[in-house]
Amino acid sequence: KRPKNFPPGPPALPILGNILHLSIQNPLEDFERLRKSYGNVYSLFIGPHPAVVINGVKAMKEAIVTKATDFAGRPQDLFINDVTHRKGVILVDYGASWREHRRFALMTMRNFGLGKKSMEDRIHDEIQHTMKTLERSIGKALTSQVMFHNVASNIISQVLFGTRYEYDNEFIRVTVRCFTEISKITNGPWAMLYDSFHFIRNLPLPFNKAFRNVEILKNLLICLVNEHKQTRVPGEPRHFVDCYLDEVEKVCEHASSFSEDQLIMYIMDLHFAGTDTTSNTLQYGFLYLMNYPHIQERCQQEIDRVLEGKDRASFEDRHHMPYMQAVIHEVQRTANTVPLSVYHCTTKDTELMGYSLPKGTIIIQNMRSVLNEEGQWKYPHEFNPENFLNDQGEFVKPEAFMPFSAGPRMCLGEGLARMELFLIMVTLLRKFKFIWPEDAGEPDFTPVYGITLTPRPYPMKVQLRSSQ
Ligand code: HEM
């Protein structure tokens, strides 16, 4: 039963909640359909759990920016919480442990070069390896799927462990596979059934694969942390893991939430969040650029002009590349990489757009409702970089651009992701032309649903650009 003055929504059935109103394969269309019937703030029951779906910039900002802390919790009784043992940073509830770990990640990433030349160097080093993969594929069709996951995984690995892995190394192959599978299982049909029906939680059903994958990843990370413990010099950190271990030693001196046990899930969180998001955005980026060759060419003209005489792009160059900036932002807008953000929950009884929401209500951000919102974009429903250009051809960012969400829980890797997207796309487009193979048929932009949206595997042909 809906609490008093709770947002409206479709009638919920006992035990089943609203599961029959949603496609368990991909509920995104249903979220849009329900918005048309019930408005920008409506409610659903995920089994016994009341949830509110937020749509459109106005409601979204009121919740996660204006009433920030009221909406900054994370639900704790879902599939994903059991899989990640309620540790780490992404899914941890609003409170001291989350705050300390978030602050630590932001500070340590800055100390290890974010916003500085050293992070650009790491990204460029990794791009060199991708370029070799592409050079070997000239004239043949290749699939970009694993390639972009490898790049993104290695960049965040450099920050976390000070290491990159050859693309055929066991560690990177297993982690990328496990991350990709977890991303799909976690928002997939079995997770939805797990969240709705408590009695199936101990049964041997397909969702157990996510638990197995997390165990595999945990064991790999425990070995890795143990190796680093053998060689570290306290007080002289080489990377994120060393910094954290220094912090754990300080715990003896003052109360803190830092522990070695936390560390494993924490680095898994950062590694996962840093891999599956950027790589899927890049995959969409190149899919669009191959199918809109005039846009690809216009990017290349701007890149050639701005980088003339320079060996490589720097992140600062973005200020002289309004078109490239517009294209990258348009890729992010249309890719809608994290379609339901990460579920929030209310930390106390609160209100939203005149409705009353009790403490503990699950909050689902329908990101598409903002990224495609009519009235916010010149061309809400098409891939068109003009969405980010004004009449003078200057780059502008409308307030509805929020693929990283907003407020206290907003993505803490935004700075890194933006640097990666810019340097990778500019460097690859400067050297190569990306071509949709003639025999590949019509492109399919329909995403595979999960925590992240992924394009279906597609072929790509590369040619060296004659001017380079
Ligand atoms: C294109 C790339 C990326 C996109 C679109 C993206 C998007 C998001 C979104 C929508 C959230 C949820 C925010 C909320 O709950 O309100 C999030 C959270 C998060 N992201 Fe990202 N992300 C990206 C890249 C990264 C990278 C590279 C890292 C690496 C460090 C990262 C780390 C995190 C973490 C740790 C959180 C949880 C923050 C918290 O709960 O306090 N993300 N991201």
Q: Which of 183, 411, 414 has the most ligand 1 atoms within 8 A of CB, as the residue to mutate? A: 411
Q: pLDDT class for 280, splitting at 50, 70, 90?
A: very high
Whether 405 is in the pocket of ligand 1, judged by its Cβ within 6 Å, is yes
**Domain presence at residue 4:** no
pLDDT for 254: 63
Query: Per-residue pLDDT for 468 more than 60?
Result: no
pTM: 0.96
Q: Could you give the CA distance from residue 229 to residue 242 in angstroms, rounded to a whole number?
A: 8
CB 44 within 8 A of CB 21: yes
Average pLDDT over residues 17-25: 88
Q: pLDDT class for 117, splitting at 50, 70, 90?
A: low
Number of domains in the chain: 1
Tallying the residues shown for the chain, one arrives at 468
Q: What is the pLDDT of residues 384-396, one digit of tens each?
A: 999 999 999 999 9
Q: What is the pLDDT of residues 325-342, one digit of tens each?
A: 999 999 999 999 999 999
CB 323 within 8 A of CB 299: yes
Residue 373's CATH number? 1.10.630.10
Q: Which of 207, 188, 195, 206 is nearest to 18 (CA)?
A: 195
Query: Per-residue pLDDT for 279 more than 80?
Result: yes
Whole-angstrom CA distances from 126 to 63, 147, 258, 318 are 39, 11, 31, 20
Q: Which of 109, 347, 404, 423 has the most ligand 1 atoms within 8 A of CB, as the residue to mutate? A: 404
pLDDT for 417: 97
* Residue span of the structural domain in which 208 resides: 19-464
Q: Could you give the CA distance from residue 422 to residue 124 in angstroms, rounded to a whole number?
A: 11
CB 385 within 8 A of CB 297: no
**Domain presence at residue 288:** yes
pLDDT for 339: 97
Average pLDDT over residues 51-61: 98
Mean pLDDT computed over every residue of the chain: 94
Whether 413 is in the pocket of ligand 1, judged by its Cβ within 6 Å, is yes
Q: pLDDT class for 252, splitting at 50, 70, 90?
A: low
Judged by phi (left if over 0) then psi (alpha if -120 to 50, else beta), residue 74 lies in beta
Q: Could you give the CA distance from residue 61 to residue 400 in angstroms, rounded to a whole number?
A: 10
Q: What is the pLDDT of residues 281-311, one digit of tens each?
A: 999 999 999 999 999 999 999 999 999 999 9
Q: pLDDT class for 428, splitting at 50, 70, 90?
A: very high
Query: Per-residue pLDDT for 63 more than 90?
Result: yes
Q: pLDDT class for 25, splitting at 50, 70, 90?
A: confident
Regarding an ipTM greater than 0.85, the answer is yes
Q: Pick the residue with more confidence: 264 or 139?
A: 264
Annotated binding site: 411
Q: What is the pLDDT of residues 352-369, one digit of tens each?
A: 999 999 999 999 999 999
**Domain presence at residue 319:** yes
User: Nearest 5°: phi and psi at 18?
Assistant: -110, 20
**Domain presence at residue 6:** no
pLDDT for 296: 98
pLDDT for 114: 66
Query: Per-residue pLDDT for 226 more than 60?
Result: yes
Q: Which of 11-20, 40-49, 218-227 has the lowest mean pLDDT?
A: 11-20
Whether 99 is in the pocket of ligand 1, judged by its Cβ within 6 Å, is no
**Domain presence at residue 5:** no
pLDDT for 250: 82
**Domain presence at residue 185:** yes
Helix (H) or strand (E) holding 41: strand 41-46
Whether 89 is in the pocket of ligand 1, judged by its Cβ within 6 Å, is yes
Q: Which of 13-17, 155-159, 168-172, 378-382 has the lowest mean pLDDT?
A: 13-17
Query: Per-residue pLDDT for 467 more than 80?
Result: no
**Domain presence at residue 3:** no
Percent of the chain with pLDDT over 70: 98
Whether 342 is in the pocket of ligand 1, judged by its Cβ within 6 Å, is yes
**Domain presence at residue 451:** yes
Q: Could you give the CA distance from residue 454 to residue 64 in angstroms, rounded to a whole number?
A: 26
